[in-house]
Structure formats: structure tokens, C-alpha cells
Amino acid sequence: MRKRVTRQVLTTVRGHRGIICATASAALVVPFLVDRSGDSAVPADRLLQEEYRAAAEEFHVPRSVLMGVSYLQSRWDSHPGVPSVVGGYGPMHLVDTRESAQPRHGQARPRATTAGPPAARPGKSPDSGTGQPADLRRAARLLELPARQLRSDDAANVRGGAALLAATQRELGKPLSADPADWWDAVARFPGTNDAVSAAAYANDVYDLIRRGARRTTDEGQEVVLAATPGVRPHPAVPQGAQRPKNVECPPELSCSWLGAPYVEMDDGYGNHDLADRPKDQRIDYIVIHDTEAPLSSMFMTVQDPEEASWHYSVRSSDGHVTQHVAIKDASWHSGSQFVNAHSIGIEHEGFLRQPDAWYTEQMYRSSARLVKYLAKKYRVPLDRQHVFGHDNVPSPTEDTIPDMHDDPGPFWDWRHYYDLLGAPLRATAGPDSDAVMILPDYVHHKPEFTGCVKGGVRCAPHGSSAVRLRTRPDDGAPLIQDPGRRPDGDDSTEDVDDLGSRVSAGQTFAVAERRGEWTAIWFQGHKGWFRNPKDHPVAVGARARVVTPKQGLEEIPVFGRPLPEKEAYPDGVAPESESPLPYTLHAGQEYVTGARAYGTYADRSTFAQSPAPVVHGREPYYEIQFDHRLAFVRASDVDVRTVDAPMAKR
């Protein structure tokens, strides 16, 4: 009884941000709380850490196992009051079966589909025998608590996770050992993954985390630390996906399936992708990250419609399952730019950019990162933000396409975490006074205001973000930078979640134009874009980079959304594509970061064919630049290139 009373006090305090209201005669604000034993004090921002300790002790589960599982489930975040798409709650992401089928974001209930293995259903053992999923109602029965308490009370949620792990360990006929290595099978069963490959990958991720350790501040401001246990290793035997279709291109540790996009002739053309022979006929230079803005069941119907778009892969929110639709050698229609399509791989992620906590799950992030690492290594795609980027960063090919370009995966996609998972962490590569900066806000604490998540003009709930806004002057009251391409009528940029006109994002690198106190200006779309960058809480760090600037004597140079072959490169019978500069210019004295040289390519794909169309290769080089939120291109003959570098101070 004493434990339950203390736990309720802890939860009450946590709900009031560390303030306990004494009901005697006055309110008392205290920074510390007495723990369950009464022998020591617990800081208010360490309550979750204490909840893991107490639950592990109560149910005889190694604390490292409990915390490792919780991190893989939620990264220790609570997402208070917001269930995931499958009805998962709290730090243990315990799934409430009565919530998992509820439609969200104003969408109709998703229709059933047979594409790919079904997501595991709580209360039902998956075919592979991996065991019960993290069933909230089963956990509530084990604790003899109402289910609603496990949805809203972090302490009860963590206890429920510990109880499920202990129950699974007993069902396996194994002892409640203090050795984390003895719990591998119970960990593999925890999320209810319905195939052995995914279960093994999940468990090995948990054990890799236990080996390395982790530290994080959660969405509720809780400081959580998992100490490293170097002697713990992932399980040596990992299933290799024996049931995988032969045409699927996927790393062996991922669960992947095939649902092909049709290449068929229609009355007015063909769809929905182009036959090619990549990387032989055209290099693969980019990997584009999308979100679906629809349930995956709906997207599976879309990708099978020859009159619709296509993409190479889909990643499911609930468990990270990957489905391939188009062979990598072929070019899918996913980006809004034929040039990018020809040189990229498109990956859709089930989700809505306005509801990141419900859809952008840790298992989806990890599956996607595994896939991208595999593809990047195979096709030699650099792991940086000028080569692995969002749909919202794809350059508009022509002026008239600018208003129609997409804005997913949006400001709440955690690029910093994603690149950590890719093994290419975003970090400072030069000193703070460098002439280039990488945008790098602290995702959890950086919460710019947005509108439009629920209704146009209505403020979104505060949320961590990868996005930083730019202003016309070093003043918080100054107007936001305006994009004349997106708003040719002259309207100002807004704080709407879909408005990219004044935004930059984590990992993008820009040349510094000026500094004034806490404010930094970068060259952005032909102008100075200002953002506040205090030393104690920076949103950008020093970067080593190569930059381009107009050659001496040129007052301004054109900016392009795609590099095209020069006219002389086109053979007889193939009409040259018309050059179409964007409605922006790069002025003398301005500098923009470049990631690589590029050469124009073009394939005439106006007719249905049974073999790839010949590719026209240009010889005139271009430079790809980070011009604004999107990438762009300038002719190499128009610019000079230099390296900016203020080395990191030695420590």
C-alpha cells in the first residue's frame, strides 16, 4: 500500500511540473521528492528514472532491459494524451486494443489490405510465435489497475511494461535472472512483431542500446540515463528473411515484402514509373524521404493504380515493415521533378506531418534508417542533407511548379535523430566563427510556434522541431523571409505548418552573411535571412563547407531547379528540353554551400516502351547548392568555389 501511495504522489507531482500543493494551509513548491524507500530525495526531473528503477526492482526485471525496451518503444517519451496510430500509450508504448483501430486526422477508417504481412494485433499471438505484444489491457490485469491509469500515468505504464516482460519470461520457462543476456527472447516478443526477422532486429537493437548506453531529455523534461553495459552483445543468430521475395532489395535484418507498381500502357500515355537501367544509365545520387499523408492501406491502392504516382518503398508506422514497389534500377514518379526521379530512390513513411507523435514511431525511424544505410552503401549515396533529404527539399524543376511542390515530412521529422540512426551524426565540423553554419537545433527543447495542425490559423500544441525560421532583420518582430516563388502575389510567409517560405531545417548548411550579437544571417534565396542563435542554446553550429559565389565581373547569375544537357548534347530526333531558370538570382558577393557537381541528363519518356529510353548526358557541369529550404543548381562556369573553414578548437 505504501508503494502505491508514493507512486501516486510521484505521478501527481509530475503532472504539475514538479509542484506539490499542500492542502493544509498553504501551497509548498519543492524541487525534490522523497523516493519509495523514504531514504533519499528524487529531483523532479528524475522521476521517470526512479520509476524505471522501482518497477525493475518490483518485478525482478534487469533495469537495463526495461529501459532499453522502453527506449525502443518510445525513446522514453510519454506523448501525454496522444496515442500512436496503433493505440500505444506512455513510455512503454503499451497498446490499447480498443484504441488501435480508431481513425485519426479526419481520415476514414483504413480499408483492409493484403499487401505485406499484417500488423500484429494485441491479444493475438503472431504466426511466428514471437508472443504477446505490449498489450495495455493485459498489463492492467497483471497490475490489477484500470486500463485508463496505464494510459495516463507514466509510473503505472512503466510498471505494466515490467510486468509484461516478467510474465513473458515465466511463459518461456526462464528464471527472472539479473543477467540481461537471459532476457533476449522475452525482449524479442515484447512488441508483438509478427515475424522472426523483425523480432530479432528489435531485440538486437535493445541489446545494442544496453551495450552503448543512452542519455536523453524526454518530451516531458525528464532526464533519463541508461548506463552502458559493454559486456552485453546482440544475439548471434539472426534470421535472414527466408520468406522474402527474390525481387526485394532490402537488408537481411529487415522484414520486407513486395507489392509491385504497374508499368502498363493507357490511352493517353503510360504509368506509373519509367523503365531504366540505373545506375548504369544514370547515377543514383539522392534518397528522398516522404510521408504518406494517408493510411498505408490507401497508399497501397494508390501505388497499384497506373494513373497515380509511384515510389520505391513504403515503411509502416506500427512496426517499421518495409514494402518495395519499384525496382531500384527503374525510376519511380515520386518527387515532382523528373531529374530527381531519374537520380533518386523514393521512400514513403506512413504518417501525417501534423501528427508526429501518433505516426513517426521509433520502429519506423529505425527500419527506414536501416534501409537507407543499405541503399546508400550499395549505390554510394553520401549520407548528408544534400543527398538524403525530404520531399520538402526537392528543387522545383521550373518556375510554374514552385507552388505545387510538397512539404512532407514536415518540421516535426527528427532529422538529428534520423542521422544518428544512419551512423552519420549531424554535428559541428568547424568553430563557432566559421563562415558557414549547419542548422542544428536541440529537437526536444526547440519548439517554434506553428499553426494549422488541427485547423487553419489555430496554434499547434508545442512540439519539438527540426525547423528554424528566418526573418528579414535581426529582430523578433521583423517579418519572416518571403518566397516570391511560392507567393507570387506578394503575401507574407506565415507560421502555418505547411508554409516553407521562411524555414531551414536540421542538417542543412548555409554560408554566413553577417552576425550581430545573438543573431546570425545566412544567404537565403538571394537575401539575408536572420535567426537568433544564442551561444548557450544555439540552433546552428560551425561547419566546414565549400561555397560558390558569382565569378568576378558577374553582378548576378541564374538559378535552376534542374541541370539540363546543353543543346549540342541532344541527338538528332530528340528535341532539347527548354531551359527554365527559377524566379530567383544569386547576386555578386553572396555565397551558397555546394554539396557536389552535377551534370544534366534527359531521357525522352513520352511513349510506352518495353526497354529503357536512351539517356542524353550533358557535359556542362553544374553545382548543386543549398539555396533556400530546397536545393537548386547553378552553372559551374558562372561561379568560383572556395572552402570555408574555422577549425574546431582543440580540447
Per-residue pLDDT tens for 293-330? 999 999 999 999 999 999 999 999 989 999 999 999 99
CATH number for the segment(s) 32-103+113-226: 1.10.530
Please report, for the chain, the start and end positions of each structural domain, with discontinuous segments joined by +.
32-103+113-226, 248-381, 429-651
135, 166, 139: which is closest to 66 by C-alpha? 166
Residues 6+ apart with CB under 8 A from 560: 579, 580, 581, 582, 622, 632, 633, 634, 635
* pLDDT above 70 (res 470): yes
Query: 254 near 242, Cβ under 8 Å?
Result: no
Give the phi and the psi of residue 522 in degrees, each rounded to 5: -120, 155
Would you say 416 and 507 are in contact if contact means Cβ atoms under 8 Å apart?
Answer: yes
Dump pLDDT digits (tens) for 118-160.
443 333 333 333 445 699 999 999 999 999 999 999 999 999 9
499: Cβ contacts below 8 Å, ≥ 6 apart: 486, 493
Q: Report in angstroms the alpha-carbon separations of 427 from 115, 415, 519, 548, 591.
A: 39, 12, 20, 22, 21
Three-state secondary structure call for residue 328: coil
Whether pTM exceeds 0.75: yes
Contact assessment for residue 87 and residue 361, using Cβ atoms and an 8 Å cutoff: no
Greatest Cα-to-Cα distance within the chain, rounded to the nearest angstrom: 92
Q: Could you give the CA distance from residue 442 to residue 437 in angstroms, rounded to a whole number?
A: 15
Exposed / middle / buried, residue 310 (Cβ in 10 Å: 0-12, 13-18, 19+): buried
Query: Residue 643: is its pLDDT beyond 50?
Result: yes
Cα(45)–Cα(344) distance, integer angstroms: 44
pLDDT tens for 54-66 read 999 999 999 999 9
Residues in the chain: 651
193 confidence band (pLDDT: 50, 70, 90): confident
β-pairing verdict for 322-324 and 256-258: parallel
Beta pairing partners, 529 = 522
Could you please state the CATH topology (level 3) that the domain comprising 248-381 is classified under: Lysozyme-like (3.40.80)
Q: By three-state DSSP, how is residue 211 classified? A: helix
Q: How far is CA 492 from CA 261, 486, 487, 500, 531, in A?
A: 40, 10, 8, 12, 17
The mean per-residue pLDDT over the stretch 71-99 comes to 89
Q: Element (H or E) spanning 202, and its range?
A: helix 196-212
Nearest by Cα to 502 from 519, 482, 522: 482
Strands (E), 299-449: 313-315, 322-324, 331-332, 344-349, 388-390, 436-439
Q: Which three cell numbers stand for residue 67?
A: 529501459
Q: At what angle do helices 154-171 and 2-15 cross, to 10 degrees?
A: 130
Q: Is the pLDDT of residue 109 over 80?
A: no
CB 646 within 8 A of CB 552: no
For cell 492542502, the residue is: 23
Name the helix (H) or strand (E) containing 87: none
Annotate 461-485 with b (16+ C-beta within 10 A) or e (fewer): eebbbbbbbbbbebeeeeebbbbeb
Distances, alpha carbon 156 to alpha carbons 55, 79, 165, 170, 498, in Å: 9, 15, 14, 21, 37
Whole-angstrom CA distances from 219 to 78, 226, 323 are 7, 17, 31
Banded pLDDT at 40 (limits 50, 70, 90): low
Confirm if 36 and 143 have CB atoms less than 8 A apart.
Answer: no
Strand order in the sheet with 631-635: 581-587, 556-560, 631-635, 615-626, 592-603, 545-550, 639-644
Q: What integer pLDDT is reported at residue 607 of this predicted model?
A: 82
Place of cell 545520387: 285
Question: In whole angstroms, what is the distance from residue 551 CA to residue 590 CA?
Answer: 11
Mark 318-335 as b/e (b = at least 16 C-beta within 10 Å).
Answer: bbbbbbbbbbbbbbbbbb
- Asked if the domains 32-103+113-226 and 248-381 are classified in one and the same CATH topology, the answer is no
Contact (Cβ atoms closer than 8 angstroms) between residue 34 and residue 47: no
pLDDT above 60: residue 31: no
Residue-wise pLDDT tens digits, 521-549: 999 999 999 999 999 999 999 999 999 99
Residue 4: is its pLDDT beyond 80? no
DSSP 591-651: -EEEEEEEEEEEE--SS--SSPPPEEEEEEEEEEEE-SSSEEEEEGGGEEEEEE--PPPP-
How many angstroms from the chain centroid is the CA of residue 19?
A: 34
Cα atoms in the Cβ-side hemisphere of radius 13 Å centred on 529: 26
Q: How far apart are CA 254 and CA 320, in angstroms?
A: 9
Beta bridge partners of 33: 42
What cell was used for 645?
573553414
Q: For the segment 268-297, what is each residue's pLDDT rounded down to a tens digit?
A: 788 899 999 999 999 999 999 999 999 999
Confidence (pLDDT) at 489: 81
| Contact yes or no for 569/456 (Cβ under 8 A) | no
- Quickly state the pLDDT bin for 15 (edges 50, 70, 90): very low
The pLDDT of residue 98 is: 76
Question: Is the Cβ–Cβ distance between 566 and 458 less than 8 Å?
Answer: no
From the list 75, 317, 63, 83, the residue with the least C-alpha distance to 220 is 75
Mean pLDDT of 631-640: 97
What pLDDT does 41 receive?
81
Going by C-beta distance under 8 Å and a sequence separation of 6 or more, which residues neighbour residue 173? none
Residue 240 has pLDDT above 90, yes or no: no
Q: Residues 447, 464: contact at Cβ < 8 Å?
A: yes
Q: Calculate mean pLDDT across residues 234-260.
A: 79
| Residue 601 identity (one-letter amino acid) | T
State how far the alpha carbon of 173 is from the alpha carbons of 177, 436, 613, in Å.
12, 58, 61
Quick one: three-class SS letters along 137-163?
Answer: HHHHHHHCCCHHHHHHCHHHHHHHHHH
